[in-house]
Amino acid sequence: MAKVNIMRLLPSVDELFKHEKLAALNESIPAVRIKNSVRDALTALREEYLARKDDPDFIPYDEDEIVEKVLSRILADHETSLKKVINGTGIVIHTNLGRSLLPEVVRDALLDAAFSYNNLEYDLKSGQRGSRYTHLESTIKELTGAEDVLVVNNNAAAVMLALNTMVQGREAIISRGELVEIGGSFRVPEVLKMSGGFLREVGTTNKTHLYDYEEAICEETGILLKVHTSNYHIIGFTETVDGRDLAELGRKHDIPVVEDLGSGLFVDLSKYGLEYEPTVRDTLAKGVDVVTFSGDKLLGGPQAGIIVGRKKYIQAMKKNQLTRALRVDKMTISALEATLRLYLDEDRAMAAIPTMRMLTLTLEELAHRAEVLYRNLLRKVKTCHLDVVDCQSQVGGGSLPQERLPSRAVTIVPMNMSLNDFERRMRLGKYHVIGKIHKERYELDVRTFLEGDMEKIVDAVKLALKDNGRASAE
């Protein structure tokens, strides 16, 4: 192939744009998008040709190949950015993979909220303007025993709103062991500063006593703050002050006590063999004045921040201008209401809420799943080594950080490519399977699979192991 001619073998943007296969896409993909993708695909091809122009083995693509490449480029460019993935990590509340999955009953609620007018801020009885915050009130009160309720965009917003309303230029007394950072950017001291309050740290990293709080109380004290150390755990010589004692101290000095619980929990998980985590009801029963928690961690609902507690503080928060900026939309309200109603019957909640269900799967169920996947893979794929191993799932989402749930994983070791290559192909392939490389094997923990995932995984493994390079086709 003569060097000079090589670039001429590529068609022009206009020629390609008029190709019948591309013209057929015009129905579903806007022309500007197609043109941009064609241009980018041609640029990539030109670069490839230039890079390989001195390579004696290089054979330029024929027209069909070029059209195929351009087509797949257009389709890839036009894919939605938010994609379904298969969670093979065993981390149930996986913050990077969208945290909690909603229960099936939410589907209808969401469709109604999205496609019908509703009484979001309309009081049907009086025919007057209503409040969006009333919809969740009675259910949350029933589940937690709270006097009053406010739901905002997420728990970070809930903490900020509570601090901004209740500290008001004064000090929040907090233990040095609870000055935590959650999810990279949410740091308790920074949030307090942003909300216009001042930090008064007491105690040490490992030990804080009730007298540490008491000695720090002064004219400037706005609140006593307790933050659940969700995502880490100090072991050894430690001491923290229980919410009950802190609440008593607060009452004695007429200072409100706020607790950021992190994960919102309505069910005592120790009944199901997990570590005990305080429920929202237990925390309020200790006398804590205001409790904040997430909607999409252990609670298993949509992203939301829920604030419960004494009426006078919640009422003050409702009047705070920040509330308007942090408000929840109708989709969240409807999804949260449908999720919360399940908790009125604990058995139903445990069965219907995916987060609860995944956390309480038995080892027998998990072992069965692993066996089914293993056998199906054994039948359908050849060029890899397969096995079923014991593994440990995590709760995730900064909840129950020490809990390790015994589970089963199917492991795959490809024969014709590296583990890293295989992992990348699984991740980028049609189904976006997210697994992990552990002890020189590719590992899929079956705990976080959804219905239908196993068939897709078999297909994904088949596709990943297939050598789809051009060289092998020739």
Ligand X SMILES: *Cc1c(COP(=O)(O)O)cnc(C)c1O
Comparing CA positions, the residue from 224, 294, 211 lying closest to residue 257 is 224
Q: Which is nearer to ligand X, 100 or 407 (CB)?
A: 100
Burial of 13 (0-12, 13-18, 19+ CB in 10 A): middle
Residue among 437, 430, 420, 428 at smallest CA distance from 458: 430
Cα separation, 141 vs 254, whole angstroms? 24
Shortest Cβ distance from residue 296 to ligand X (Å)?
Answer: 7
When the beta carbons of 11 and 396 are compared against ligand X, the nearer one is 396
Distance of closest approach, residue 90 Cβ to ligand X, in angstroms: 20
Give CA separation, 85 vs 89, 150, 152, 289, 432, in Å: 11, 33, 28, 41, 5
Our CA angle for 127, 131, 137, nearest 5°, is 115
Instruction: Name the site residues for ligand X (rule: CB under 6 A).
Output: 154-156, 159, 182, 186, 227-228, 230, 260, 262, 294, 305, 398
Q: How far is the CB of 10 from ligand X (least distance, A)?
A: 49
Minimum Å distance from CB 95 to ligand X? 8
What is the nearest approach in angstroms of ligand X to the Cβ of residue 352?
A: 22
Cα gap 256→224, rounded to integer Å: 6
- Which DSSP symbol is given to 85? -
Residue 300 or 414 having the CB closest to ligand X: 300
Q: Indicate the residue whose CB is closest to ligand X.
A: 262
Residue type at 81 in one-letter notation: S
Based on CB atoms, which residue is closest to ligand X, 163 or 314?
163
* Cα distance between residue 306 and residue 328, in whole Å: 10
The least CB distance from residue 191 to ligand X, in Å, is 9
Nearer to ligand X, 41 or 159 (CB): 159
Nearest residue to 372 via CA among 452, 462, 466: 452
Provide the minimum distance between the beta carbon of 205 and ligand X in the complex, in angstroms, as a whole number.
Answer: 17
Scan for tokens 């409100």, then name that residue. Answer: 256
| Residue 269 burial (10 A CB sphere; 0-12, 13-18, 19+) | buried
Give 277 or 423: the residue with its C-beta nearer to ligand X: 277
What's the CA gap between 25 and 423, in Å, rounded? 32
Minimum CB–partner distance for residue 335 and ligand X (Å): 14
Cβ closest to ligand X, residue 264 vs residue 435 = 264
Looking at beta carbons only, is 11 or 177 nearer to ligand X? Answer: 177
